[in-house]
Amino acid sequence: MPCQRDVIYVYDGGLEGMLCCIFEAFEKKERPAAIRPEQELQPSLFEARWVETDTARAKRVAQGLEQKVSPRAAWVVQTLFLTTHPEKELLALDFTRLAFQRGRQVTAMMGHPVVSDAVLTARRAFGEAHQYKGLLRFSDVGGVLAAEIEPKNNVLPMIAPHFCARFRNESFLIYDRVHHAALIWQDRQAQMLRVDALTLPPPTADELQARRLWRQFYKTIAIEARINPRCQMSNMPKRYWNLLTEMQDGEEERGALAAAEAAGAQRLRPRPEYGTIEAENAAGAGETVSPRG
């Protein structure tokens, strides 16, 4: 049993950093009181210890889980990192320790509090990512597709392979308003950037026409004799609605379009650039994602 220490591990906020914290805890045979990314560190009575990110060490943890335990256990730890669980790092550490003790059966031990907490948290995040595969809406902005999302978990890395494979010959951008991250796919290359704010240019006439058609389809496809708002809401919770094209009435857009037309048709011409991106060289910058093979 590792001894409990009054120390807080601090890491750079990336997945590799978290895996290095797990390595550190194994190496020192201890369990820290907490593990925190440096961005979220708050003053406390405990001693804070900086854990340096070392790719080789992170790889040893990831590979160890994958090969000595099971791919599923490795998936749980990696997905945990993307969740909003308040103690996700510590949970990942406890789960990893258990995984190396018990081997591949660990993910089946759902009766164990650590395992059920870890697996259910990861599964929920996976579920949200799956929802976003359907509920994300792109707008055509001068030939480039742009979408915004507001997920609870950091789903972007999970949905990236899906969208990169599906829209392989397009250029697109997905901006996560909550986690201030953006996925950019261009020339069959993916990039994850930290983006603090994003303003999209007003939609073109073509884009508005597509939205209008979609809203009409959405309205027409419902059968009046079977209207069932509760069923609709339980399948599609309201928190998704404010970014869904079909749940906006489109009045505002039409007004904006009319105003733009009055001001001169020039503004409606497709523009080569898409919005303003304030990219920052922070954690996760330049990470490449490969399409699902």
Partner 1 sequence: MDVFDKLTILTDAAKYDVACTSSGAGDTAPAGAGMGSTENCGICHTWSADGRCVSLLKVLMTNVCAFDCKYCVNRRSNDTPRAAFTPKELADLTMSFYRRNYIEGLFLSSGVQRDPDYATEQIIQALELLRGPYHFTGYIHAKAIPGADPLLIGRLGQLANRLSVNIELPSQRSLALLAPNKTKQNILAPMAAIRDGITESKQSLVKYKKAPKFAPAGQSTQMIVGATLETDYQILRLTEGLYQKYSLKRVFFSAYIPVAEDTLLPSPDTKPPLLREHRLYQADWLLRYYQFSSQEILDEEHQDFNPFLDPKCNWAINHMELFPVEVNRAPYEMLLRVPGIGPVSARRIARARRAGKLDWDDLKRIGVVLKRAQYFLLCKGRGLPGLAVTRQNTVKALIDGAPVAQAEQLSLFGTEDRPRLAEVKEVAAECLASAM
Closest to 148 (Cα-Cα) out of 160, 158, 138: 138
- Contact at 8 Å (CB) between 35 and 21? yes
Residue 263 makes contact with partner 1 by CB under 8 A: no
Q: Scanning residues 54 to 93, which ones bind partner 1 (CB under 8 A)? A: none
When binding is defined by CB under 8 A, the residue of 84, 191, 245, 248 that contacts partner 1 is: 245
When binding is defined by CB under 8 A, the residue of 205, 222, 256, 285 that contacts partner 1 is: 222
- Pull the structure tokens for residue 60: 């040893």
In angstroms, what is the minimal distance from the CB of 237 to partner 1? 10
CA 258/CA 249 separation, integer angstroms: 16
Residue 113 makes contact with partner 1 by CB under 8 A: yes
- Pull the structure tokens for residue 159: 């949905």
In angstroms, what is the minimal distance from the CB of 114 to partner 1? 11
Range in contact with partner 1 (rule: CB under 8 A) among 8-16, 23-31, 45-53, 220-228 = 220-228
Which residues, in sequence order, are CB contacts of 150 under 8 Å at separation 6+? 176, 177, 178, 239, 242, 243
- Contact at 8 Å (CB) between 8 and 44? yes
Closest to 173 (Cα-Cα) out of 135, 210, 143: 143
- Which amino acid belongs to residue 84? T
When binding is defined by CB under 8 A, the residue of 29, 68, 133, 239 that contacts partner 1 is: 133
Tokens 């854990």 — which residue? 51
Residue 277 makes contact with partner 1 by CB under 8 A: no
In angstroms, what is the minimal distance from the CB of 236 to partner 1? 4
Range in contact with partner 1 (rule: CB under 8 A) among 7-15, 56-64, 77-85, 163-171 = 163-171
Pairing of strands 181-186, 144-149: unpaired
Residue 16 makes contact with partner 1 by CB under 8 A: no
Binding site for partner 1 (CB under 8 A): 105, 108-111, 113, 116, 120, 130, 133-140, 145, 147, 162-163, 165-170, 210, 212-214, 216-218, 220-223, 225-232, 235-236, 244-246, 291-293
